[in-house]
Structure 1
Amino acid sequence: SAAGFVVPPVFILLEQTVSLEVFLGLGVPGAAVTTAEPGFMNLLLFSSWLQFFASAVLSPIRRPLVLIMDGCGSRFSLHIVRVAAACQIKLVCLPSNATHLFQPLDVAVFSSLKTNLNSALELLMNDSDDCNVSKEKAIKCNFSTNIKAGFRACGLYPLSLHRMTECLHHFRRNRAPRVAKIAAWLKIRTVVQNDLLVNPQFIQAFATCYRYVVLPKKFDNAHWCIILVDIDSREKKIYQFDSLQSDRFYERLNDYCESYIKLARYDGYDLRQAIDLKQTDVQNCGTLSIVFVMMQVKGEQTPIINSGNLQSLRFTLFLQGLRVTHPFFWPCMLLHTDFKNGSGM
């Protein structure tokens, strides 16, 4: 809480049952243990947690309680609102993908916890052969003070528009952290999968924390192009480049990507397209790729693709072959390439 009060945690375990030894070994006063198949929070567990939360807050504290949450779908529904009302809890949802800006736990607590844990591990490894750190040493980071500082820094308590604006300013200057990019990708994953992917299984191969996600797109069972989704939550760009515009060894994809740029829109994301494609080569099907995406954006009929534009599939064959021969390596190789800064593969 803004006063530094810490509610006992609820541990969600992946198992279907919890042994008595695990429960007795918690060593955290007031903590609870439950299970879930994926090991994550869901609506049923969150409903139970709200009641646990209400009972854990000391009775002298006046009701209603204000619970600031991230608004994730697994923790928000009409049923949850009703349970919260019955427990005299007012729910306040933070903006999407903004926990690194306005959630005190992310802003002030986790960083100090990690710092103290790393310091304890370093001292332990230097002074002995033991690599076990006690909970007391791991959490020795003045939680109460840091929690208060977190609420203050986020502008949540005391309520401060200036503090919130300052957080946003730092975010725009320093860009989104890695966790925010992952959250942004999770948010658009379903849209991208439904509208762009031929094989839904590809989504699992490329839904990673890398900056770019490679999405193959197939037309008429013959033509392919490659779409790169930049999961930077600030810029939100989708890069589409001609599948044929690459040299023999595919070492300058970034140059070709930079060469063909034009702004459009796709589901709220910037789509960079070709502006200087020369149609002197009948094998150049980049324009058709762009027209296809443009017509999809406008809700128009899919363009007809003639055989003259389907002759060369060098880049597609290269990617497909590399995916088979190096299934774990090739996504990393492509996804680490920074197309905007001009660094090659």
Structure 2
Amino acid sequence: MAETLLEVRNLHVQFDTYDGVAEVINGVDFTLNRGETAALVGETGCGKSVTVKSIMGLLPAAEITAGEIIYKGQDLLELSDAERHARRGREISMIMQDPMTSLNPVLTVGEQMIDVLKWQGERRLSVTDWLRDKVSRRSDADHRERAIEMLADVEISAPERVFSSYPVELSGGMRQRVLIAIALLSEPNFLIADEPGTALDVTTEAKVLDLLDELVEDRNTSVLYITHDLGVAREVSEFINVMYAGEIIEQAPTAELFADPEHPYTRGLLESIPTLSSGIGGGIEGHLPDYTDPPAACRFAERCPHAESKCSEVVPYPRKTADDHTVACHLFDGEAAHDRHQKLAQERVDIGSPPWREGSETETGSDVVADGGASK
């Protein structure tokens, strides 16, 4: 049986805004096992980055109103700032979304890598301490060798030159490789890759994703990919969590989700992917709800082609439709995936069965399985 590394339970995150309280994350649950690569997918603005930054403890302006983030059996939300800071970087690392802005422009790549090796997990430094260390350059030789070795590991052909370069002297693909090298310097147990190919062309993105896959496999690192691209998710992950408007609405092993997508939103995402057989997808009509005034029940109801009035009145709790497959939709029957929804499960909502299962099966899943990589 796989060992659980991370478990997020009933996470709620909100922000105070000029328009009111924005309930951005509304009861998120997911699990990541040791050595597993999973994906968190959904359109821009659905709460993916807020979720992972909550795990990292990088949202000082947000309020986590409920939930648990269990890492290696310990709730990270119960740790002090110093204790979380000690784990961040050493055991848990993150590749930021935009390689063009994530590196400090006034320091060389080598200076930034050496700072990570010296100070990750340590108490926060004063400017005086940092400058004093820069002048003394203590233990820089060993750190320099380690940094150059890691730059070579991410297939940078001239690691010594890149080590001495400023970010402005590097291409987007090269900067992304540097960010990967920095994230892996401490050989973390858990790596978060937040849209690692967003700012790259498709060819460079494919190379970076293949490289990252090889590196984490060699180190048996658990990885959570954040992406809006289901084609990328299919290529890199073993398990997919589909997110919409701050909620996980479907979870399944990657192959199963593409072969038999259940939630109307998941199906809409798949149908939006350009394929060789059907051309450019049609997209999903509508937009995300206002987080300061979210729907009381199903947050996708206004955009769903199969919604009935009950969908806007009764919360569609996540239910198990197979051993590792859950979906939060009234079109499906199944026991509640989480104990807190047992009471909701007692109220039967009948809006019919999935219309795409009445008669012949759609080819949505198989089309993307065949052509999904083309979207990268």
TM-score using structure 1 length: 0.29
Larger radius of gyration: 1
Q: As a proportion of its length, which structure holds more strand?
A: 2
Q: Return the TM-score normalized by structure 2.
A: 0.27
